[in-house]
Chains A and B, each alone.
Chain A
Amino acid sequence: MSAIAAAPVQGKGAGIADRLRRLITANPSAVPTIASVIIFVGMIVYGEVAYGRIVQASTLSNLLINNAHVIVLAVAMTFVIITGGIDLSVGSIIAFSSVAGVMLSNAGWNPIAVVVLMIVFGALFGLVSGILIRYFNVQPFIATLAMMFLGRGLASLLSTKPEQLPSDSPIRLLSEKIKIIDGPKVNDLVITPAVIIAILVVLAAFFVLHRTRTGRTVYAIGGSENSALLMGLSVHRTKVLVYVISGALSGLAAVLYTSRLGTAQNITGIGWELDAIAAAVIGGTVLTGAYGYVLGSVVGALVLGLMTVLITRDGGIPPEMTTIITGGILLVFVLLQRAVTRKRE
């Protein structure tokens, strides 16, 4: 544990190579995170060389805009996985929240109330999973799997058709593009309020996870729940809390996604659990818990987003392959983690 506590702050002022080496020797589980950064840079370089027009303002800002919700999901998943749990319900929560939110705003509700409610719906799903896991000892993947089906089923009860957000709805403002730098032709540096929200979420999560007592407890639970209990940490409260956080952030991701797309459907978000888990794992979060970084998960989400961009640019790879490639990458990283942690044992 102490190795991790020291890792983000150690070696200030030292050379980057020296710092990296010390990071790896002190903490072998940082290898996947470093690997993901290298992969990300490598993908950008490869994309620029092979297809061109990757390292430019419009592509990179679109990467952020299109993946704001994935970043939020990956951050949420990081919390859960570090405690040694898993949340399979994120995709279904998004489906339920967005369908319910769009229907409410179509019914003339105040947009701010709708946004708050969408997040609250997510938090409620998370609360139920958390209570099942904490008070009734249900395995996390069973509890969240049940929530996954419950959310999907409830969303289908509400509507099975695509629900359209009114074109004058203020919720759409969240994805209104703001030009920061007006580049030549369409090469503008653009940002949306949704991206800003995602960045704020990342910063807040970083602060909570790495700088507060709650964050310490999250890591401690993943390391050894019994020891954490014996140390007098508030294990039970924190364990419920991570699922509530995950649910609430999924609700927020639903807001961001719906504002960008303008429609919601009961089949929205199928398979996004894989994206969120893959992003966290690629970013160096170990599936057995106790190791992981918020910023690593952000890189993981961007790697996945960039992969989709490259696949579209390439055109030779059928889009059906995307889930297989994501699954394959996830598997490779899980095996990598396995090798690293086994060596340490």
Chain B
Amino acid sequence: MSAPARASVWRDLIHKPFFWGIVAIVALLALNVIKDPTYLAISINPNNGNLVGNLIDILRQAAPVMMIAIGMSLVIATGGIDLSVGSLMAVSGAVSMEFLAAAGDSSSLGVALAAVGLSLLITGILGAVNGVLVAYVGLQPFIATLVLMLAGRGVAKVITGGQNTAASSDPYRWIANGFLVGIPVVFILAVLIVVVVSWVVRRSALGLMIEAIGINPKASRMAGIKPKGLLLTAYILSGILAGIAGVMSVGSVMTVDISRTGYQLELDAILAVVIGGASLAGGKFSLSGAFVGALLIATLDKTVLFLGVSSSATPAFKAIVIVAICLLQSERVRSWFQRRRRTQAPAPRVEIVKEEAAA
């Protein structure tokens, strides 16, 4: 590879929306390595040939966040927001655990699949409720989903009767804790779902139409896009993906904690989306960006714990990150940066034009 070609690869990478997310992941990992030089070590468990290490833990923890972040990406791209994903995770976990506890057959694959299917069906229906309220009734998205965010935990409580239900099912547990050729199943599953969703969205006109709604609903309607069905689809997808995330996070402990499962994960999902370079105002979205964002959040969670801060305090750090990103996205800060660049560089014209074209 020649030097200019390499430089252009670099420039492409830097202009990728999720470049700074990757930089942040590397920085956080470096921080951990400074504290413990063996942090990145990955070993193979001699008993079963599985990979063991902090990095593997991060991949495993990132999986549920990836799921809700993908759903959130699509919803935010339409110009909406889904605040109910965390509560839907709890609902999904509650449905699964109640079903498994009632079935009582801990080795049957069919029972586990039925539990997953039932959970996804119910979260899909709840997502559809959001979608109908937004698309057909015309409520503001955050109000429609706020109701479910706060009442969703009530639904989960009613399903389990206020208990933290536990159940046992080996196939169900395998989803969250199993390994396939040494790699956690849950991560493989998450990557598969991300790939499938991005393939469907990007190979068809679906993604384009979703972005069109977010950028200019009126123009998109005039161009012949029917927004209602698409909005409904986005919210249903978000609900189902939150259901999958719920199955993943409940499966690792096989207990649903109705007040903790998925608690405050809405923020994680929103954070992952904005780290991935999407604007909260809607429009362009990047599923690979959301993927990187989810990885960054899992790394941040792990780092905060590793540095000895209480896990219930992590939302404070995330809130600071999200405020910082919102500031970076705002007109005022951007124009301030551009003005500085203009005064420093003698010929910034081309660069600015290029940026405008990119935006």
Contact = CB atoms under 8 A, between A and B. Distances in A.
B150 A327 contact: yes
A160 B310 CA distance: 9
A149 B326 contact: no
B326 A143 contact: yes
B66 to A, nearest CB: 20
Majority secondary structure of chain B interface residues (helix, strand, loop or mixed) = helix
A152 B148 contact: no
Interface in A281-324: 287-288, 318-324
Contact of A149 (B138, B147, B310, B318): B318
Given A320-B158, A324-B158, A86 B147 contact: no
Interface in A38-54: none
A146 B317 CA distance: 10
B280 interface: yes
B331 interface: yes
Contact of A135 (B155, B309, B332): B332
B332 A136 contact: yes
Contact of A326 (B143, B151, B314): B151
Nearest to A281: B143
Interface stretch (A194-202, A222-230, A235-243, A266-274): A266-274
Interface string B311-338: 0111111111011001100111100000
Interface residues of B, number: 46
Q: Which 7 A-B pairs have the closest CB atoms?
A: A153-B316, A327-B151, A323-B154, A320-B157, A150-B319, A156-B312, A149-B315
Contacts of A86: 142-143
Contact of A322 (B154, B330, B332, B333): B154
Nearest to B323: A146
B242 to A, nearest CB: 17
Contact of A136 (B81, B137, B138, B326): B326
B49 interface: no
Nearest to A272: B150
Given A142-B326, A322-B154, A335-B137, A150 B316 contact: yes
A138 B44 CA distance: 47
Interface of B: 81, 83, 133, 137-140, 142-143, 146-148, 150-151, 153-155, 157-158, 161-162, 264, 266-267, 270, 280-281, 309-310, 312-320, 322-323, 326-327, 330-333
A170 B258 CA distance: 37
Contacts of B161: 318, 320
A186 interface: no
Contacts of A136: 326-327, 330, 332-333
A142 B280 contact: yes
B65 to A, nearest CB: 15
A93 interface: no
A287 B281 CA distance: 19
A129 to B, nearest CB: 10
